[in-house]
Amino acid sequence: MNTSTSTFVRTEMLPQQAPPITESGAVKWLRENLFSSVLNTILTILGIAAVAYLVIHIAPWLSRSVWNANSLSECRQIIAERYGEGVTGACWAVIRERWPQYLFGFYPSHLYWRPVLAFVLLCVAVAPVLFDKLPRKMLWFSLIYPAVGFWLLWGGSVWVPVMALAGFAIGYAAAKIVKPIAGTILATIAAVLAPVLWWLFLAGPAAEALQSILPIALQSVRSREFGGFVLAFTIGFTGIAFSLPLGVMLALGRQSDMFIVNKLSVGFIEFIRGVPLITLLFTASLLLNYFLPPGTDFDIILRVIIMVVLFAAAYIAEVVRGGLAALPRGQYEAADALGLDYWKAQRLIIMPQALKISIPGIVSTFIGLFKDTTLVVFVGLLDPLKGITDAVRASTDWKGIYWEPYIFVGTIFFVFCFAMSRYSMYLEGKLKTDHR
Which listed residue (48, 130, 134, 177) binds another protein by CB under 8 A?
A: 48
Stretch that binds another protein, among 73-81, 107-115, 205-213, 264-272 (CB under 8 A): 264-272
Closest distance to another protein from the beta carbon of 382 (Å): 14
Chain-centroid distance of CA 435 in Å reads 30
Least distance between another protein and beta carbon 341 (Å): 9
Distance CA 29, CA 25 (A): 6
Question: What is the distance in angstroms between the CA of the first residue and the CA of the last residue of the chain?
Answer: 65
Build a one-symbol-per-residue string for 185-204: x at contacts with another protein by CB under 8 A, - elsewhere: x-------------------
d(CA 335, CA 249): 19
The candidate with the shortest Cα–Cα distance to 381, out of 223, 170, 213, 258, is 223
- Asked if 423 is part of the footprint of another protein (rule: CB under 8 A), the reply reads no
Question: To the nearest whole angstrom, how small is the minimum distance from the Cβ of residue 29 to another protein?
Answer: 8
382 strand-pairing partners:
227
E strand or H helix that includes residue 119: helix 113-130
Q: Is 76 in the site for another protein (CB under 8 A)?
A: no
Residues in the chain, total: 436
- Please give the Cα distance from 359 to 322 (Å, whole number): 11
Exposed, middle or buried, 161 (CB in 10 Å: 0-12/13-18/19+)? buried
Q: How far is the CB of 73 from another protein (least distance, A)?
A: 17
The number of residues that bind another protein (CB under 8 A) is 56
Contact 92, 123 (CB under 8 A): no
Residue closest to 154 by CA, chosen among 105, 118, 198, 205: 118
- Residue from 279, 326, 333, 426 touching another protein (CB under 8 A): that is 279
Indicate which single residue of 111, 144, 417, 427 sits in contact with another protein (rule: CB under 8 A): 417
Considering only residues 365-404, where is the footprint of another protein by CB under 8 A? 367, 371-372, 374-375, 377-378, 385-386, 402-403
User: CB 417 → another protein: shortest distance, Å?
Assistant: 4
In the set 19, 245, 380, 410, which binds another protein (CB under 8 A)?
A: 410
Answer yes or no: are the C-beta atoms of 265 and 256 closer than 8 Å.
Answer: yes
* Residue 125 beta carbon to another protein: minimum distance, rounded to whole angstroms: 24
Cα 169–chain centre separation? 29
CA distance 305 to 376: 10
- Which part of the chain contacts another protein (CB under 8 A), choosing from 31-39, 55-63, 95-103, 136-144? 31-39
Contacting positions for another protein (CB under 8 A): 32-34, 36, 40, 43-44, 47-48, 50-51, 185, 257-261, 264, 270-271, 273-279, 282-283, 286-287, 289-294, 367, 371-372, 374-375, 377-378, 385-386, 402-403, 406, 409-410, 413-414, 417-418, 421
